[in-house]
Amino acid sequence: MTEAIRVSETFGPTIQGEGVLIGEPTVFVRTGGCDFRCSWCDSLHAVDSAYRHTWAEMTTEEVFARIETLSGGVPIMVTLSGGNPAIQPFGSLIRLGRSHGYRFALETQGTLSPEWFSDLDVLVLSPKPPSSDMAFDPSQLAACVEAAGAGQTVVLKFVVLDEADYRFARDASALHPNLPVYLQPCNHTPPPPDDDSASVDVDGVTDRMLWLVERTLKDHWYTARILPQLHVMLWGNKRGV
């Protein structure tokens, strides 16, 4: 009997709003619980233990049944997010889903490296920059890359708020020069956890993205891809899309 998976919410199909899979149809499984508490976290309802009562303890079979219901039984990409989804026992779910034709992507800050990383199709490692007020451990990131192995897509994704974050992204990505790098401007006005109607400072985010373009070109950092958070542009801070 597999350990229960702590689920904050499931939703979709929608499109992936950022990173290597931007624009791709996906079902989201957002887990509850995280080993970080970033200053600009946009999903506190899946992070803060004060919201534990809203999280459901689900078996592998229950989660997969929900995925099939949401996708109408059509195998598509499943995105595992959080919180930090690496905390959860996802190995059995990934193997079950892949046996039915589903693919799995996971987004994590790169602090935990479970063995089932090697069963994923896409692993997005998003080390948190200085503006998050969280510490970075290069050895933990290296362990995640090693756990993933060579059987799937592994990329780095950095949220950038300011110059310090930009320099962090340059330095951290240099530790793994063979991994593709994605940069995105930070949504610095995340919603309160109980209110998804808070407006986004679109002009501020756009200005930050323009600065990122200029900054990378000035440094001749031509391997970094700069992308918006597409879901923020389309739906603002609304939850569950």
Is 197 within a domain? Answer: yes
Count how many residues are written for the chain: 241
Is 30 within a domain? Answer: yes
Give the per-residue pLDDT at 92: 97
Is 240 within a domain? Answer: no
Q: What is the mean pLDDT of the chain?
A: 90
Domain span including residue 16: 5-235
Task: Taking residues 7-23, report their average pLDDT.
Answer: 91
pLDDT digits (tens, 9 = 90+) for 161-206: 999 999 999 999 999 999 999 999 987 665 555 555 556 677 888 8
Task: Taking residues 84-89, report their average pLDDT.
Answer: 96
The alpha-carbon radius of gyration of the chain (Å, integer) is: 17
pLDDT digits (tens, 9 = 90+) for 210-223: 999 999 999 999 99
Is 17 within a domain? Answer: yes
Task: Taking residues 46-56, report their average pLDDT.
Answer: 90
pLDDT digits (tens, 9 = 90+) for 118-137: 999 999 999 999 999 999 99
Is 212 within a domain? Answer: yes
* Tally of domains within the chain: 1
Task: Taking residues 144-153, report their average pLDDT.
Answer: 92
Is 223 within a domain? Answer: yes
Q: What CATH number corresponds to the domain at position 182?
A: 3.20.20.70
For a pLDDT cut of 70, what percent of the chain falls above it?
89
Is 241 within a domain? Answer: no
- Tell me the three state secondary structure of residue 170: helix
Does the structure show a pLDDT above 80 at 230? no
Would you call 221 exposed, middle or buried from its count of C-beta atoms within 10 A (0-12, 13-18, 19+)?
middle
